[in-house]
Structure 1
Amino acid sequence: MNNSVQCRRLVGKTAIVTASTDGIGLGIAQRLGQEGANVVISSRKQKNVDAAVEKLKAKGLKVVGITCHVAKAEDRQKLQKLYEHAEATFGGIDILISNAATNPTMGAVLDCEESAWDKIFEVNVKASYLLAKEVLPYFNKKNGGKIIFVSSVGGYHPSELLGAYSVSKTALLGLTKAAAIQLAKDNIQVNCLAPGIVQTKFADALTSSEVARSEALFRIPLNRFGTPSDMGAAVAFLASDDANYITGETIVVAGGMASKL
């Protein structure tokens, strides 16, 4: 991850990043912290939260963490308590990054089992919608805020092997546009990040074997996989005042992979 960040666009801001103890989420949390934000991270397992908090604090970043499974109502209530803690500790909440995602199955969309479909949409879509709803009172106290959903380039060009997952990521593109229209009057910008293939555990099936790597890289004009710090840089821009006139948009960060026109 990039340790030479010069921008300090987020000093005094507080950001909450879900699923942020590894991979893209950790890359986002680190970049926001490097730009001066107070960062609240979360994940399903306490040991992962503790390790990530220690790692980020060792870099001199302001961070706290909590365990939270975003698809469980009781854990979202814990996140509600963390909203309150963040407000008391840091003076409010300015940024919500909804990054949590799951993909328990591989295959074409209509081959997906109903139970897997429900889990994918519970985590990837419904949780994003509920987290955004729950943060609004805190944004309203600050007279504005930023919501950033993490989708995927697959939301534009579904993969047959990731059928249901791709559809869930397409749904986030629509959620972004609909929420942006609703919240514009409240000075809340809603945008979306669509990563390409990023070198993480989540994408291991596409990046580990030589055959899979070669096939994947063939579709990437820049001829490399993305990194968590690439994603963090794009999110930091969307979370900053530099993006105050951008809402309802999705930034594709995919090395030139085919996406929208």
Structure 2
Amino acid sequence: MTFFDLHKNFDLTGKVALITGASKGIGAAIAQGMAARGAHVVVSSRKQDAVDKVAADIREAGFKATAIEAKVGGNGEADKLISQVKEELGGIDILVNNAAVNPIFGPAVRTSLTVFDKIMNVNLRGPFELCQKVFPIMSERGGGSVINISSVGGISPENGLGIYSVSKAALISLTKTLAKEWGEKNIRVNAICPGLIQTKFSKPLWSNDTNRETYEQHLPLGRIAQPEEVVGLALLLASDAGSYCTGGVHTIDGGFTA
């Protein structure tokens, strides 16, 4: 009898993983987790000093990491980022599109076109451009994994997060589209939809005790999550353990959408 080698199937040794928005929160946690499983992670975000710190911490722990500053979202830096990773590390096997913005909280009708464009450029156009650039690289390497960090707001719009939710719904649709188009190249594309995770990005939603307690009362698990709780699913989708997973929309929300 052949037994499933769980350790081997979650191993990322020899893989190159690019994670955007990785200077803190979910992105940093995923970078640390993938590095610990053997990947050479590329930690990318808007500020060089911030990604330098995350990469240094990973290297200090004995793992492989490179820090590259990039502001993805319609400014031409996606091409530069992918080219630099390919030149320095030979290619890309895993892409995690985690970078996102939400500069406004309130009704969608009050969102200016300038803010609308900013949200869409970072949350949707950025992942699309990076996906376009990694496709030929992953194809040449015999396959790969793309993980798009969406949101439960992309499944059901959240009050006060209207256009952000729209951008995350579009990212889910992009995920499914590319999964269908890229399957023949053995490139898997999946979406992770976190609920409320305790990060700096979501601080306005959980820092108020009353708001937090009200939210937690509606959760079957009764608490909000920490960034590290997203890592296990990301490892599954990036590794051979998730080799038959593509086009999936996976929630990590404590039962919020149940």
Q: Give me the TM-score of the superposition, normalised by structure 2.
A: 0.93
| Aligned residues: CA RMSD | 1.6
How far apart, in 2, do the equivalents of 1:127 and 1:34 lie?
A: 27
Q: Which amino acid aligns with 1:257?
A: F
How far apart, in 1, do the equivalents of 2:244 and 2:88 lie?
A: 26
How far apart, in 2, do the equivalents of 1:60 and 1:224 lie?
A: 33
How far apart, in 2, do the equivalents of 1:87 and 1:138 lie?
A: 12
Q: CA deviation at 1:198?
A: 0.4
Q: CA deviation at 1:8?
A: 4.9
Task: Determine the structure 2 residue equivalent to 1:203.
Answer: 202
For structure 1, list consecutive stretches of 5 or more residues without a partner in the other structure: none
Task: Determine the structure 1 residue equivalent to 2:3.
Answer: none
**Residue in structure 2 matching 1:34, options 33, 36, 42:** 36
Task: Determine the structure 1 residue equivalent to 2:87.
Answer: 85
SS in 1 for 2:159: coil
Aligned 1:1-261 pairs, distance under 5 A:
8-88=10-90, 92-258=91-257
How far apart, in 2, do the equivalents of 1:8 and 1:190 lie?
A: 17
SS in 2 for 1:202: coil
How far apart, in 1, do the equivalents of 2:219 and 2:202 lie?
A: 15
Q: CA deviation at 1:86?
A: 4.2
Preserved contact between residue 9 and residue 241 of structure 2 (Cα < 8 Å):
no
Q: Which amino acid aligns with 2:31?
A: A
Preserved contact between residue 79 and residue 133 of structure 2 (Cα < 8 Å):
no
How far apart, in 2, do the equivalents of 1:132 and 1:12 lie?
A: 21
Q: Which amino acid aligns with 1:87?
A: L
How far apart, in 1, do the equivalents of 2:219 and 2:120 lie?
A: 28
Preserved contact between residue 10 and residue 241 of structure 2 (Cα < 8 Å):
no
How far apart, in 1, do the equivalents of 2:218 and 2:205 lie?
A: 12
For structure 2, list consecutive stretches of 5 or more residues without a partner in the other structure: 1-6
How far apart, in 2, do the equivalents of 1:80 and 1:7 lie?
A: 26
State the Cα deviation string for residues 164-199 of structure 1 (Å, max 9, x = none).
Answer: 101111111100111101101111110010001001
* Percent sequence identity over aligned pairs: 38
Q: CA deviation at 1:73?
A: 2.8
State the Cα deviation string for residues 14-33 of structure 1 (Å, max 9, x = none).
Answer: 10000101000001101111
SS in 1 for 2:121: helix
Preserved contact between residue 95 and residue 145 of structure 1 (Cα < 8 Å):
yes
SS in 1 for 2:201: helix
SS in 1 for 2:96: strand
Preserved contact between residue 82 and residue 130 of structure 2 (Cα < 8 Å):
no
How far apart, in 2, do the equivalents of 1:26 and 1:109 lie?
A: 30
Q: CA deviation at 1:221?
A: 1.2
Preserved contact between residue 152 and residue 195 of structure 2 (Cα < 8 Å):
yes
State the Cα deviation string for residues 24-55 of structure 1 (Å, max 9, x = none).
Answer: 00011011111111101101111101111111
How far apart, in 2, do the equivalents of 1:6 and 1:205 lie?
A: 40
Query: Which runs of structure 1 show a deviation greater than 6 angstroms over 4 or more consecutive aligned residues?
Result: none
Q: Which amino acid aligns with 2:245?
A: I
* Aligned positions, number: 252
Q: CA deviation at 1:201?
A: 0.3
Q: CA deviation at 1:208?
A: 0.9
